[in-house]
Structure 1
Amino acid sequence: MNSNKSLTLSVFVHSIMIAAALIIFTLPNHETEEEVTLELALDTPQEVQAQVSTPTPAPIITPQKKQEVSEVKHDPLPIQPQAKITEPIIQPTKAEPVVIAQKIPESQLIQPTQVRKLEPVTPPTPAAPKPSAEEEYLENHLFAIRDTLIKYRKYPKNAVRLRQEGAVRVSFRLKSNGEVEDIVIQSSSGYEILDDDAKVLIEKTAHYFPKPPKTVRITVPLSYNLKTAP
């Protein structure tokens, strides 16, 4: 009886585990999109002058001057004359040896130590950081986005009539499939007509932008000046 209860309980527990596993595997996998904020100005980007570092010249080491070793010469000792002996038996006087100075060969002279010239060590040039996919996208398609916005931007007639002008800073998310979302006015012009026109401009022109490799957030400054109004 107890074995039947244990078997029934085991089957029930295994059934619950299998059902839970099936539910987990059937849940949709939501892919998170990385969002990177990029700034876009409608002005022509300025050229960046590369700074070339001038290498510091290595110090010049002057080799030491060789020291000349003067040759020492000794004067020979004079030979003393033999004294005359009045004694009948003359004994010869033994002559002292003559000291002759020997010339020291140049090979045995002490040579000055030669100082080895140190060569300057050039530090390795650090590798330039590789731009991200988002920065590379904006760099390659900057003028395309800029020209599209300028082409389709029109001054609102109501704003012209009311003599309204100002600058709007608008940001939006551009997805990899070309869709645009989350259009936000970060800096208002002070007039609702101009702010709304900036948002509508992004909605109408976003599908003309080149598609990015992943979702990016682009910030665009738009200026409304009555001098450029038709």
Structure 2
Amino acid sequence: MVQPTPPSSDALHRRGLMFIMSSPSGAGKTTISRMLLEADPAIRLSVSATTRPMRPGEVDGKDYHFVTQGRFDEMVENEEFLEWAHVFGNSYGTPKAQVKAGLREGQDFLFDIDWQGTQQLYQKLETDVVRVFLLPPSIDELRRRLTGRGTDSAEVIAARMERARAEISHWDGYDYVVVNDDIDECFAKVREILHAERMKRARQTGLIGFVRELMRP
């Protein structure tokens, strides 16, 4: 019997995905994001543009693209963002070109954004988006974490708690919801979600050709 021709190396090409993690401040998305980037070389952080000042240790182009408000407004006007929002007096946005090009090449992107940005991305690129929301184990624990940082005043913490309740109210707009009671368990669940989403048939853009080869007489 004639054997099927082996598929080429790119036969099982996969379209990349946009892996969004949101949470109220203090619920752990920054920590989980950092762990995921360190553990998985196949995903990289989507670098946002922002008008907020650069903090010590941050690198322009790596942590954020730091721009003036005037430049940011110009980018909005030119429709250069997939999503953008004003948060705590600063502007944040996701540049469009680099993400769309990466997705076509099979690159996965990690997004650390709020529910407003998530909604905008989902409306524009629904099939490429995976939405994960992290919840704190309790509102008291969330307050304890924010206070424990020792970096914010009581007024800022109060504002963050108010915003946290508003953000939590949008939990049902996400595909997955994970309670971050234990950081290692939470991370393991997030990785499971990512692995499963990568294997979805709709993202395996090389499957049609591969299966046709298998079925050839």
TM-score interval, normalised by the smaller of the two chains: under 0.3
TM-score (norm 2): 0.22
TM-score norm. by structure 1 comes to: 0.21
Taking CA–CA contacts closer than 8 Å with sequence separation of 6 or more, which of the two structures ends up with the larger relative contact order? 2
Structure index of larger Rg: 1
**Higher strand content, 1 or 2:** 2
